Structure 1
Amino acid sequence: MNWYFHVLKNYAVFRGRARRQEYWYFFLINIIISIALAFIDNAMGNPGAGEGAGVLGTFYSLAILIPSIAVGVRRLHDTGRNGWWMLLGLIPLIGALVLIYFFAQDSHPGSNEYGLNPKDIDSDSVGQFKV
């Protein structure tokens, strides 16, 4: 959960770099929370729950939109790419597949134009350093 809260602390920070671990743990926890909220929406009979757009899930998605984009941009920076590559997500299917490939790649070693390699920073101090 530390990685999840670390991303939320850097709510709208689009500069710097994010490790694979930071991105994928944030992604995993978002999926788990979204599934739980979908069950709650269905159990409560909230409008739109049957279509996958219940009230709780919709509010959560809107609340997490900016940090999700920010951590994606920082992850792209870690692989040496500009954050504008996130716009590939607007291309149906192919764009998402290309972004998944980029997000799964290892960090560029050492520092790059976006900052120091997060792997070089002590991983025990998650949440104590600013990216």
Structure 2
Amino acid sequence: MQGAVRRSPSTERSALGSVEWATAPTGPPHDHDGHGRPTRGGARIRLPDSLTVTGPVLGARPWIACARAVTRLTTTGRASRSEFWWTWLLQTVVAAVLLLAVPLLQGRTRDLQLPSGPFGPGLLGTVPLFSWNDTSGAPAGGASVVIWTVWSLLTLAPMVALAIRRLHDADHSAWWALGAVLVPVLSFVVLVLLAQRSKPVGVRFDRAHLDRPGADRPGAEGALAPSEGGR
């Protein structure tokens, strides 16, 4: 029997989502398939669903949550609780190291503060998580503060967009995020809203949900849920 033998596409379910590939025909290895897409060992390279799905990823791992935060710079759509809080926690850890740990080791113990809020401890942080003032020490500052300022500027847009998508997932308007900026006391209220469970009716904030019949049902296209539970 002559000619190349083709295998049907296969799908493998992993912790990151389903990854689909097509096995290339037998013969010499190629760096690209017939459509110019890169291949590796005869398998077409595709990103996992958890990185490309437009809806919320329930039970997202920390690295998936952070990757989606920096690659999805849009306020349209939704984000799950795990997507938001893992990214928020990373932002808080970076801030704690640069604004507290490093200055304390340098003896800069005057006016140490760690602000936070719905958008993390960045430039829009209005909720004081920690405050320390030792007048006998040097004032806060130094290279760590400069590094933090640059970091907070780079992550400001992703954190704001992520918070808005998380509000959408809990079926709340983005106006709550604006209210937290204009009225700092509302930050506590917004933090509570951000901690609420996902609601299927939040699909109304998706751009094209009306074009996808049944998209408002849990588990419909546009949302990715883990095999066991989810947040």
How does the TM-score come out when normalised to structure 1? 0.76
Which residue of the partner structure matches residue 85 of structure 1?
A: 176
Q: Return the structure number with greater helix share.
A: 1
Superposed, which structure 2 residues align to 1:68-79 within 5 Å?
A: 68-79=159-170
Shift of 1:76: 0.9
Aligned partner letter, 1:50: A
Which residue of the partner structure matches residue 8 of structure 1?
A: 70
Runs of 4+, deviation exceeding 4 Å? 40-46
Shift of 1:51: 5.7
Which residue of the partner structure matches residue 122 of structure 1?
A: 224
Alpha carbons of 1:45 and 1:66: their partners in 2 closer, same or farther (altered >3 Å)?
farther
Shift of 1:35: 1.7
* Number of aligned positions between the proteins: 120
Which residue of the partner structure matches residue 19 of structure 1?
A: 80
8 Å Cα contact 1:73-1:83 kept in structure 2: yes
Cα distance per residue 1:25-63 (max 9 Å; x no partner): 1100111111222344666799x9716981011111111
Gaps of 5+ in 1: 125-131
Alpha carbons of 1:43 and 1:62: their partners in 2 closer, same or farther (altered >3 Å)?
farther
> Identity across aligned pairs (percent)?
26
Q: Distance in 2 between matches of 1:111 and 1:102?
A: 13
Shift of 1:16: 0.3
SS of the residue corresponding to residue 81 of structure 1 reads: coil
Residue in structure 1 matching 2:97, options 9, 23, 36? 36
Q: Distance in 2 between matches of 1:44 and 1:15?
A: 43
8 Å Cα contact 1:8-1:67 kept in structure 2: yes
Shift of 1:92: 2.3
Q: Distance in 2 between matches of 1:73 and 1:86?
A: 7
Structure scoring higher RCO (CA < 8 A, sep ≥ 6) equals 1
Root-mean-square deviation (CA), in Å? 2.9
Q: Distance in 2 between matches of 1:54 and 1:24?
A: 24
Aligned partner letter, 1:56: I
Q: Highest CA radius of gyration, 1 or 2?
A: 2
8 Å Cα contact 1:15-1:114 kept in structure 2: yes
Q: Distance in 2 between matches of 1:45 and 1:55?
A: 17
Q: Distance in 1 between matches of 2:71 and 2:78?
A: 15
Alpha carbons of 1:97 and 1:111: their partners in 2 closer, same or farther (altered >3 Å)?
closer
Q: Distance in 1 between matches of 2:180 and 2:151?
A: 20
8 Å Cα contact 1:41-1:55 kept in structure 2: no
Shift of 1:6: 1.3
